[in-house]
Amino acid sequence: MTAVTPDAWQELFLFSIQIKDGSEIQYAGMTEEVTGFDFGDKDIEGVALANGGRVVKHTPQADESVTVKVWPTDAKIGTKGVVQLFHPQSTPDSTDPILVENTRNRNKHQIIFTWAENIEDLSTAGTATTADKAAYRITAKNAYMTSYKPGMDDKNLMAEMTFTWPPFDKDGNSNKKEESTTSTAIPAATSFVTS
């Protein structure tokens, strides 16, 4: 039986991050909200001609980004910490006390957001959804964490992190996809590995 698409996808969702060639880590348990998706403008410009007419000049699509508000409680890479995604260490530190120093290193990431009618049955955002259950997924790859801003919201440590990616890779392949279903399951997300 085909599911009915909800009137709106609301507050419950799964959010995963995968460092290229690493494992998908589920971050929904420390994520409050997505504060903004920006899928890049695809602007045009009208160029005036001698006869008074106009020719449309296409502007390449701008970079895309998403900002997510999280509640980190440690500095490890894992379900409670994100700072090492912004400052990748030569070897990720996972031994107490954790030390994260500023670095010039940058990692590529795949980020996945999934909304599903049966969200409680999915273990990560990249898990295959269930047939005959409504679901919606956004996946972006080749994304860099370009901003990490800790703060004290309501006297609690929080952080806003922004991931930015070009709309296409150097070969012209899309870096973002959106999938939805009310019948056939959305397959598991493709692992983000060096090819």
Give residue-wise pLDDT tens across range 61-87: 999 999 999 999 999 888 788 999 999
pLDDT digits (tens, 9 = 90+) for 35-59: 889 999 999 999 999 999 999 999 9
Write out the chain in H/E/C secondary structure: CCCCCCCCCCCCCEEEEEECCCCEEECHHHEEEEEEEECCCCCEEEEECCCCCEEEEECCCCCEEEEEEECCCCCCCECCECHHHHCCCCCCCCCCCCCCCCCCCCCCEEEEEEEECCHHHCCCCCCCCCCCCCEEEEEEEEEEEEEEEEEEECCEEEEEEEEEECCECCCCCECEEEEEECCCCCCCCCCCCCC
pLDDT band per the 50, 70, 90 thresholds, residue 154: confident
Q: Per-residue pLDDT tens for 127-153?
A: 999 999 999 999 999 999 999 999 998
